[in-house]
Amino acid sequence: MIEQSVQPALEAALEAARWAPSVHNTQPWTFSVSQEELGLRADTGRKLLVGDASGRELLISCGAALFTMRTALRRHGFEPVVRILPDPDRPSLLATLRPGAETPPDEATRLLGEQIERRRTHRAGFADLPVPDRLLDRLVAAAAGEGARLTPVRAPEAVDVLAGLTRAAQAVQSTDRRWSLEVIRWGRPPGSSRKDGVPADGYPRQAAHTEPHFPQRDYSWRHDWGGQGGAGTSIGVPALLTTAADDRESWIACGQALQHVLLLASAHGVSAAFHTQALEMDLLREFLRRELCSGEHPQLVMRLGVTFDDKGAVRRPLADLVD
């Protein structure tokens, strides 16, 4: 039997997990409930077979869901007890968590929890407004607390390198039919009733050109889809999220760091745009590791900035996700 006082917290954690960010909004997770313990599992049927053969981006996505669940439990007054990769014989079971000691939520937890359903991924240029240095410092500290390193990229030469590698990777992938078909599999046409993938209003039909240019994924390959937003021309603040190791546990930690950063940024009016094209090509990812990441392993390339786009979001119903 689940204690009556714990039941709402478990339900809130499952509901919150739906709203975590994931590559192409694939939502590659399922959940189990056993007594007072929740299980987070990788849904490998949603893995990108071309762009993410190792499952790295899938586990980062699931790590983001895990941090969201932790935040929801704390918001309901329980310190989460988490085990990462608890069973070697069940590799798809990424984590278990259960409510631990009762602890009143602090202001930081309430702040993050309020952003779980509000946070949105941006897919264009940003408004010409600065991201405060004090906020960037807090985002760096948030990532460090989860076992990853967030590095804002300030030097113009390094920004040019990031943009150039993103353009090169996007150009190569856009001419490869396998890459293009995998991306548009997760691009939804106008009026689609699907509750996963990137809806047509989730990216601009024609984004304004930034300098230097960071290209977006072409979710409407050979179609005239997309929304009307994306008038901003600022690149915002490019940043790298890296880890010291490059294994499954590190990827899950990176996902938790990512969601901590995103929720905290959202609470202060800052959104993120992602550019992982170069990280999906081994040679370019290794070049970044050596030349820009001080030997650490790059897991995400993003831009942080201010946007006034007000987009909706699609998520699968909880009934499809929970055993």
Tokens of 319: 């009934």
The mean pLDDT of 27-35, rounded to a whole number, is 96
Q: Does 2 have pLDDT greater than 60?
A: no
Q: For residue 233, count CB atoms less than 10 angstroms from its CB and return exposed for 0-12, middle for 13-18, buried for 19 or more.
A: middle
> What fold, for 7-118?
NADH Oxidase (3.40.109)
**Binning pLDDT at 50, 70 and 90, where does residue 45 land?**
very high
Distance, in Å, from the CA atom of 285 to the CA atom of 10, rounded to the nearest integer, reads: 38
Q: How many residues appear in the chain? A: 323
Q: With a cut of 70, say whether residue 234 has pLDDT above it.
A: yes
Choices 3.40.50.10860, 3.30.9.10, 3.40.109.10, 3.30.1360.10: CATH for 133-305: 3.40.109.10
- 3-state helix, strand, coil split of the chain in percent (to 5) is 40, 20, 40
Q: Which residues of 111-127 are buried (b: 16+ CB within 10 A; e: fewer)?
A: bbbebbeebbbbbbbbe
Q: What is the pLDDT of residue 189?
A: 87
**Does the pLDDT value for residue 273 go beyond 90?**
yes
Q: Among residues 42, 258, 23, which one has the least CA distance to residue 139?
A: 258
Q: In sequence order, which residues have a C-beta less than 8 Å from that of residue 89 and are 6 or more positions away? A: none
Which of 10-14, 116-120, 184-188, 236-240 is least confident?
A: 184-188
Residue 67 has pLDDT above 70, yes or no: yes
List, for residues 286-302, the tens digit of each pLDDT value.
999 999 999 999 999 99
Query: What average pLDDT does this structure show over 305-312?
Result: 86
Residue 203 banded pLDDT, cuts 50, 70, 90: confident
Residue 159 neighbours by CB under 8 Å, 6+ apart: 153, 212, 235, 238
Q: Is the pLDDT of residue 221 over 90?
A: no
pLDDT of residue 309: 78
pLDDT in tens, 89-129: 999 999 999 999 999 999 999 999 999 999 999 998 999 99
Q: What residue spans define the domains of the chain?
A: 7-118, 133-305
Residue of 79, 57, 67 whose CA lies nearest to 20: 67
CA 133 to chain centre: 22
Banded model confidence at residue 205, pLDDT cuts 50, 70, 90: confident
Q: What is the pLDDT of residues 238-252, one digit of tens each?
A: 999 999 999 999 999
| Sheet of 37-42, strands arranged across | 29-34, 37-42, 93-102, 78-84
Average pLDDT score over residue span 204-232:
78
Tokens of 278: 């170069």
Same fold across 7-118 and 133-305: yes
C-beta separation of 15 from 113 below 8 A: no
Query: What would the two tokens of residue 280 be?
Result: 């999906």
